[in-house]
Amino acid sequence: MVGRRFAGPTLRSADEYRWPSSFSGFRKRTTARQRPLEETGLLMNALAQLRSRFAKALSDLAADPAPFTAMVRPTQDAKFGDFQANFAMPLAKQLGKNPRDLAAEIVGKLDLSDLCQPLEVAGPGFINIRLKDDWLTEQTNRSVTDARLGVEANTTPKRIVIDYSAPNVAKPMHVGHLRSTVLGNALYRVAKFLGHHVQGDNHIGDWGTQFGMILFGYKNFLDRAAFESAPVTELARQYRLVSQLSTYHDAKVELPKAETRLAQLEIELAAAEASKSANDKNAEKTLKKQRSDLNEVREQIASLKKQIETVESSPSLKALADAYPQIAELARLETAKLHAGTEENTRLWNQFVPQCLAAIQGIYDRLDIRFDMTCGESFYNPMLADVVADLQAKGLASESDGAICVFIPGNAAPFIVRKRDGAFTYATSDLATIRYRVNVLHADTMLYVVDTRQSEHFRLLFETAKLWGYGDREMVHVNFGTILGKDNKPYKTRSGDTIGLESLLDAAVAKARQIVDANDDSKPEGRELNDDARATVAETVGLGAIKYADLRHNRESDYVYDEDKMLATTGDTATYMQYAYARVAGIFRKGGVNRETLRNSGGRLLITHPSERALALQLLRFSEALDGVLAEYRPNILTDYLFATANTFSTFYQGCTVLKEPDEAIRTSRLLLCDLTARVIATGLDLLGIKTCEQM
């Protein structure tokens, strides 16, 4: 299971975590808040502008025009124009009118002549909208000189806390941390770019049983020399060792039980098969279930045997296992002592945590992942007793079977905030976190970028938080699916171990290097990149491939980790976008064009070819794509957009000469399009946490 949640190293004052008083780049925008959007002159999002116009026309037809203006959207097929309004049918029904007549009526009282060509009513009452080239060129000209590429910062920014990555710092990060980290970071960047006040919070695991294992290993099995030269590696080895021994003893106990159960299931199945009468659907179903249970137990047994075999095949491991039959209990004891605040364990913990964090930071640096705060379990630990007491005082939590639980109507499982043994759970910690995020950070919205398998936990958590008095805040479980191997099972090594994140990155970069080498070697005029440059490109391409593959899927789907596909040089991959960017960069390099000068040259966009219009329109839709990402926390909307943008550019570049264009005004216009394309692609990729190269 993916690690998640565990607390900040040392207790820090709340002051450190207050919202920054200044958000440079956003403040100016917020002053425009009260003015109608069109009057600010900043609004370039065509869709928002159209909706706003339609809202006026609908104001005396519908009490609340919002749901209807939401039905103004980009067309799916260019033959219907650029946008379409689909509200006439439902609105006509509500008003008891004919939809086509209503559409015509609205078209009649709407003057959009500055924006688009005359509106057309089609089919049962669709209103088709096609932007005027004049308006398109005007907007594009504005974007060219706009640092924000025509994307308006939100006029009513929210305070958003995004909880992502959240590894257990006691062990190396693995493939299971990839999605939360990559997805969370992309959402973080997009939300920030759109003007929200965002706090990226790494809710690390630094207070749980894993630390007990490290402490036990350190005290009993430490290789002092190894620890002194590479402390984190040695601590990770200790964790693995203790965990392995403890698993071994568990497996020894579990194996006979599983075998008994297997035998029993086999007998039951045989009996059921013998007595089954033909065409009995219920019996068929039961049999199926039994076979599936049987398989499950067989797999469990195989896994247990493997765990046992691993230890017993190594004399040294076996000796350790025999010497410490109670190792799990002993490790738990170390955890308990840490929680109780004994001098030695506290001192060791204070020594280890910063070292572990520094190691993890190495991966974050490489992946360019940013957080504003790192508060995990240890940070919230002192608040937990009070959380439980408060829940009890308010009558929300009660004792059941020795544990303190919150029962949410409609949910069979209780939300356990204190175990029978008195220990708190991550439920308690999550509640303390919500209270902190609301009371101290003043969060309006709290996002949890966590594996979908924990959705039940979050349902209970949010329900409990609502009852507790935080119902006015938005809490969203931004859930995501599992990364699978090619066998369609959760991605593991052949021997069944989880895959370390570092080695995953290295493998992708190494593969990218081969591609970069092959491509550069085959250039008509010989290689262009020295070894250092190739290494940089390979790092950019390799890491970009991993991130993009993760982000381009609908987050809720599982997906198969396939290095060949994610690093393919054709198709919907980061490489394709990075290449599109490098091509544009090459145009400026080759033409000796200073892009800054170009932008301020006063040159205007001229539409002389369909692919120029298509590209300009596509570039103006950047803002729509970003809004789409945040509407449902789906970065794949941005990957789709970027792929379409790169594709539209390639088509344009195929059909339109740029540097070789003899007409200077047209050449300038096309250079402006190239410049804008490069900036949109680079910015879009950057918002996904993906880098670009000037040359590749």
DSSP H or E segment with residue 252: helix 231-275
Query: With left for phi above 0 and alpha for psi between -120 and 50, is residue 443 left, alpha or beta?
Result: beta
- Smallest gap, in angstroms, from Cβ of residue 315 to RNA? 31
| Residue type (1 letter), 471 | G
The span from the CA of 204 to the CA of 374, in Å, is: 7
> Shortest gap between Cβ of 244 and RNA (angstroms)?
17
Nearer to RNA, 250 or 456 (CB): 456
Q: Looking at 276-420, list the stretches that DSSP marks H as alpha helix, in order from N- to C-terminal side.
A: 281-312, 315-323, 327-340, 343-367, 377-380, 384-393
For RNA, give the closer residue by CB, 340 or 412: 412
Instruction: Between 522 and 597, name the residue whose CB sits nearer to RNA.
Output: 522
- Using an 8 Å Cβ cutoff, are 290 and 265 in contact? yes
Decide if 579 contacts 681 (C-beta within 8 A): no
Smallest separation, CB 35 to RNA (Å) = 27
Smallest distance from RNA to CB 223, Å = 27
Question: 131 Cβ partners below 8 Å, 6+ apart?
Answer: 46, 82, 83, 115, 116, 117, 617
Determine the angle formed by the axes of helices 664-687 and 178-193, rounding to 10 degrees: 130
**In whole angstroms, how close is the CB of 331 to RNA at the nearest point?**
12
Beta strand segments in 135-282, E: 159-163, 197-201
Q: Which is nearer to RNA, 10 or 514 (CB)?
A: 514
Residue closer to RNA, measured from CB, 110 or 560: 560
Q: How far is the CB of 183 from RNA (least distance, A)?
A: 13
Q: Which residue has the tokens 């497996």?
A: 251
Q: How far apart are CA 507 and CA 505, in angstroms?
A: 5
Residue with tokens 């499950």: 296
Burial of 661 (0-12, 13-18, 19+ CB in 10 A): middle
Contact 162, 441 (CB under 8 A): no
Q: Which lies closer to RNA via its Cβ, residue 51 or residue 197? A: 51
User: Contact, 178 vs 367, CB < 8 A?
Assistant: no
What minimum distance in Å lies between the beta carbon of 429 and RNA? 7
Q: Would you say 390 or 640 has its CB closer to RNA?
A: 640
Which residue number, 374 or 636, has a Cβ lying nearer to RNA?
A: 636
Nearer to RNA, 197 or 639 (CB): 639
Minimum CB separation of residue 560 from RNA in Å reads 5
Distances (CA, A) of 564 to 43, 546, 560, 636: 42, 11, 11, 20
Q: Which is nearer to RNA, 86 or 244 (CB)?
A: 86
Tell me the closest approach of the beta carbon of residue 32 to RNA, in angstroms.
26
Cα 431 to Cα 392, 401, 456, 541, 667: the distances in Å are 13, 21, 15, 40, 60
Q: How far is the CB of 442 from RNA (least distance, A)?
A: 25
Residue 253 has which token pair?
């106990």
Nearer to RNA, 44 or 397 (CB): 397
Phi first, then psi, for residue 555 (nearest 5°) are -60, -25
Cβ 494 to RNA shortest distance, Å: 18
320 vs 577, beta carbon nearer RNA? 577
List all residues 6 or more positions away from 491 whose beta carbon is below 8 Å from its beta carbon. Answer: 175, 482, 483, 484, 485, 499, 561
Closest CA to 91 of 121, 125, 48, 120: 125
Minimum gap (Å) between residue 470 Cβ and RNA: 21
Contact 575, 541 (CB under 8 A): yes
Hey, what are 15's tokens? 């002051």
Q: Cβ closer to RNA: 231 or 481?
A: 481
What residue type is 317 in one-letter code?
Answer: L
Q: At 590, which amino acid appears?
A: K
> Which class for 132: exposed (0-12), middle (13-18), buried (19 or more C-beta within 10 A)?
middle
C-alpha 664: how far from chain center: 44
Residues 491 and 485: their CA atoms lie apart, in Å, by 4
Of 142, 176, 121, 154, nearest to 27 by C-alpha is 154
Q: How far is the CB of 200 from RNA (least distance, A)?
A: 19
Tell me whether residue 162 or residue 673 sits nearer to RNA (CB atom): 673
Residue with Cβ nearer RNA (234 or 520): 520
Distance of closest approach, residue 461 Cβ to RNA, in angstroms: 11
Q: Please list the helix, strand and coil fractions of the chain in percent, rounded to the nearest 5, in that order.
A: 60, 10, 30
| Rounded least distance, CB 566 to RNA, Å | 10
